[in-house]
Amino acid sequence: MRNALFATTAVLMAVASPAIAQSSVEGRVDRLEKEMRAVQRKVFPAGTPLEAEITRPAAPTVMPGTPSGTPISDLTARVGALESQLAAITGQTEENSYKLRQLEESFNRYKADTDARLAQAETAPRPSVSAPVAVDPAAAPVAAKPTAAKPAAPKPAAPAPASDERKAAVAAIERPSTSDAASDAYNYGFRLWDAKFYPEAQAQLKATVDKYGSSSVASKAQNLLGRAYLDDGKPALASVAFYENYQKRPRGERAPDSLTYLGEALIQLKKPTDACKVYEELEQVYGDNLSSSLRGMMDKGRVKAKCS
């Protein structure tokens, strides 16, 4: 009786072992299918265009007394290989998703920077171009058409309060008093500039240009105003003063000087390309009429700006 019980138990275990192993493999296959669908949903969020080619195999019919270890071992090995491949695919998918997020963030930053630069360019002042001026061939050369963009006019900073000592030094500068009020105003500004009282010279010369803008002295006053700004370390204000003098008074006495110093101001503003355009126009408009000092200054400026 006892031997019969052992024999029955052995037969049941032989039959149940393949079924238990097969049930374990089927559970792993089910889990693989679920994970594959999850990966497909992650890779194709708009819809899964591919169907998993993993199908549940038909349960084999196990005949009593036949060996079942080898087929189950093969199936287990294949499922293990599938699990390894799925793990590799999942890792690659996560890495690709991370790289895609990085690309999207980089693109969004680039787009924001580009939009900001475009908005700034649209609000920047547009350069104005003066029309050609017809003159008598015997007259002094006239600017045909300025090629350099008009510098944007910065707002002058308020001058610091002058000390009593400085006020006394400025008061010691003699004011000219002749019958020519325009020349007196310019000469007083020149004396202030020559004494290196640049803020005071700027105020005097600007007032001279505003009051006597239509007189012959205006060209000298506006040019000296630009030099007073340039000597005071204000190249942006100087460039505006020089450009306006050349544009408004191309036949003025100091028009070539203003165009030459405009190139120097642009170099100080780190705009060598614009400076080269200014020197090119200076050569075309005034040519051989340039003084040796202005031509020497232009040649040095071309070297500093690396003009071709």
User: For 14-71, how does the pLDDT look when each residue is reduced to its tens digit (9 = 90+)?
Assistant: 545 555 555 666 677 777 777 777 776 666 665 545 544 555 555 555 555 555 456 6
User: Is pLDDT larger for residue 247 or for residue 49?
Assistant: 247
pLDDT score for 304: 94
Structural contact between residues 215 and 253, judged by C-beta atoms closer than 8 angstroms:
no
pLDDT score for 205: 96
Name the CATH topology of 172-305.
Answer: 1.25.40
Domain with CATH 1.25.40.10 in the chain: 172-305
261-273 pLDDT, tens digit each: 999 999 999 999 9
Give dist(CA 172, CA 160) in Å, integer. 20
CA dihedral 114, 116, 120, 122 (to 10 degrees): 60
Nearest to 19 by CA among 57, 56, 68, 54: 68
**Token couple for 303:** 């070297």
Structural contact between residues 39 and 89, judged by C-beta atoms closer than 8 angstroms:
yes
Share the mean pLDDT of the chain: 76
| Statement: residue 276 has pLDDT above 70 | yes
